[in-house]
């Protein structure tokens, strides 16, 4: 039975598929810009810190605005919130397009810091995008299929990781970064058109949701109160925070690790191979639906991801790093989809925006934090320690070699150990282990039809 057959094509499901397709195209375009701009910044500066700061400015506004965005999403029509997000992101891309075009014509001399403000501007609108989408999934998809539906969001991400580096690499070689940004602008246009084609159902009222009604500040606090009063969800949130920090550091440091021993074209190939792993993981999760106990899926795949990090460290080998990257990203979609499904099942539909935004704000804090520490960890600590004659050259250097990129390899080993420790602590926590038994589902078995 195909994935489409498993997710029965009812009217709400048709809305889900149209919306998902538009977001898939938008993510592909965003992936082109992220790859092209990130590669340009690193190759121009050869600084992990400058490269990581680009990520910091992409996530910091989302952290700040997440609680407000979640509250407004519960008040607004969620389709309009997604439209606002796509239009804002498209405008951000147009600003970057203008900067790159002006640089190509010699009107300005483009520096890494020129990208920070427009990236932050787009991130302000991006704060509304995924909370609105995931809060709407529960209204369109039956509860028993949430794992598969969330996996489809990961399919979009995996497809972007495969195609975006290949397309961006080809466009940069032929028409430059201007061509990459042009495609991204078109992708946002397609996403907006698909959103104009659909209507989202309104969430049914719940006791918890009505209790928090009032001022915007009161509703923002309600999202945190709902989570903090449930120890199982707090434990899951703590586990997720550590997992996201490790993942963000891996994603940030893989580029300087690879470019330390090869070129940007090979980096694109490795990124695409990694994307194949992510896509296979997402499609597999979509067909399988995940284990009956979704916590087992989260912890099991997280443990595998920790073990895989050890593969990327031994030597600067393209096949080895590509294989490790593919396996690492293969574990992400099942883990993310299972986790997302738990949150969606346990939170009332009319409280999803607020509670999900609080969770997102806390987990997103790890991205700018990772961006701030990645540069100093690599440039100032581990890379000098693993240089010829460095502090670790006589110990870890004998195992991993010395020179550019070897300090980042040590960081990967440390992150693998942290990941495995996080899994062990989570499994020994009874509140998290018994989450499903102690906290009843907030969602009904059937979803309402659209207005």
CATH number of domain containing 40 = 1.20.1250.20
> Is the same domain home to 11 and 137?
yes
| Cα angle, residue 23 at apex, residues 374 and 330 outer, rounded to 5° | 50
Q: Does residue 439 fall inside a structural domain?
A: no
For residue 135, tell me if it sits in a domain: yes
157 and 226 assigned to the same domain: no
Distance CA(435)–CA(232), nearest Å, equals 5
Helices (H), 229-347: 231-259, 264-288, 294-309, 318-346
Tens of pLDDT, residues 361-384? 888 788 888 888 998 999 999 999
Domain that holds residue 51: 1-199
The pLDDT of residue 209 is above 60:
no
Q: Which residue has the higher pLDDT, 364 or 154?
A: 364
To which H or E segment does residue 374 belong? helix 366-375
pLDDT score at 76: 83
Q: Same domain for 165 and 306? A: no
Bin 401: left if φ > 0, else alpha if -120 < ψ < 50, else beta. Answer: left
pLDDT at 413: 96
Model pLDDT for residues 240-270, shown as the tens digit of each residue:
999 999 998 998 899 889 988 888 778 878 8
DSSP 449: P
Same domain as 332, residue 257: yes
Task: For residue 175, tell me if it sits in a domain.
Answer: yes
CATH number of 303's domain = 1.20.1250
- For the record, the structure tokens of 404 come out as 């550019």
pLDDT, mean of residues 298-308: 96
222 in a structural domain: yes
Question: Each residue of 155-176: b (16+ CB within 10 Å) or e?
Answer: bbbbbbbbbbbbbbbebbeeee
Domain count for the chain, please give it. 2
User: For the ranges 68-77, 118-127, 147-156, which has the lowest average pLDDT?
Assistant: 147-156
Q: Is residue 112 part of a domain?
A: yes
For the segment 59-73, the average pLDDT, to the nearest whole number, is 82
HSE, CB side, 13 Å, CA atoms: give it for residue 107.
7
Q: Does residue 448 form part of some domain? A: no
> Across all residues in the chain, what is the average pLDDT?
84
DSSP state of 321: H
- Considering the domain boundaries, does residue 212 fall inside one? no
pTM here is: 0.72
Residues 100 and 224 in one domain: no
Neighbours of 445 (CB within 10 A): 8
How far, in Å, CA of 430 to CA of 304, rounded? 22
Tens of pLDDT, residue by residue over 83-140, are: 998 999 889 999 998 998 888 888 888 888 889 999 899 888 888 887 788 778 878 8
Distance CA 127, CA 132 (A): 9
List Cβ neighbours of 292 (8 Å cut-off, separation of 6 or more). Answer: none
């Amino acid at each position: 039975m195909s994935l489409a057959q498993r997710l029965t094509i009812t009217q709400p499901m048709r809305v889900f598929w149209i919306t998902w397709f538009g977001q898939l195209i938008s993510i592909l375009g965003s992936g082109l810009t992220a790859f092209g701009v990130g590669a340009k910044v690193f190759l121009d500066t050869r600084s992990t810190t400058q490269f990581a700061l680009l990520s910091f400015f992409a996530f910091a506004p989302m952290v700040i605005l997440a609680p407000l965005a979640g509250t407004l999403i519960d008040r607004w029509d969620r389709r309009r919130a997604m439209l606002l997000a796509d239009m804002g992101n498209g405008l951000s891309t147009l600003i970057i397009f203008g900067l790159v075009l002006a640089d190509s014509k010699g009107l300005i001399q483009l520096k890494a810091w020129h990208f920070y403000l427009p990236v932050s501007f787009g991130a302000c609108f991006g704060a509304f995008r995924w909370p609105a989408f995931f809060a709407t999934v529960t209204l369109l998809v039956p509860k028993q299929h949430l794992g598969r539906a969330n996996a489809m969001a990961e399919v979009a991400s995996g497809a972007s990781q495969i195609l975006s580096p290949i397309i961006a690499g080809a466009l940069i070689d032929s028409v430059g970064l201007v061509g990459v940004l042009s495609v991204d602008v078109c992708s946002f246009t397609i996403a907006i058109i698909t959103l104009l084609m659909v209507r989202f159902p309104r969430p049914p009222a719940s006791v918890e949701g009505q209790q928090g009604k009032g001022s915007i500040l009161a509703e923002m606090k309600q999202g945190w109160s709902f989570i903090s009063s449930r120890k199982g969800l707090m434990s899951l949130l703590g586990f997720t925070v550590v997992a996201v920090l490790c993942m963000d550091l891996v994603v940030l440091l893989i580029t300087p690790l690879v470019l330390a021993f090869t070129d940007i074209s090979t980096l694109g190939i490795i990124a695409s191979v990694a994307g194949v792993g992510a896509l296979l993981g997402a499609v597999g999760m979509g067909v399988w639906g995940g284990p009956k106990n979704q916590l087992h899926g989260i912890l099991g795949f997280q443990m595998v991801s920790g073990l895989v990090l050890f593969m990327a460290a031994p030597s600067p080998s393209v096949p080895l790093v590509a294989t490790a990257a593919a396996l690492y990203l293969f574990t992400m979609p099942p883990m993310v989809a299972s986790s997302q499904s738990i949150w969606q099942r346990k939170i009332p539909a009319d409280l999803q925006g607020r509670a999900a935004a609080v969770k997102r704000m806390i987990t997103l804090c790890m991205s700018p934090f990772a961006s701030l520490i990645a540069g100093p960890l690599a440039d100032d600590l581990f890379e000098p320690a693993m240089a010829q004659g460095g502090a670790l050259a006589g110990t870890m250097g004998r195992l991993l070699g010395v020179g550019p990129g070897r300090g980042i390899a040590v960081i990967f080993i440390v992150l693998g150990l942290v990941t495995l420790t996080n899994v062990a602590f989570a499994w020994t926590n009874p509140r998290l282990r018994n989450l499903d038994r102690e906290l009843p589902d907030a969602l009904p078995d059937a979803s309402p039809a659209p207005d």
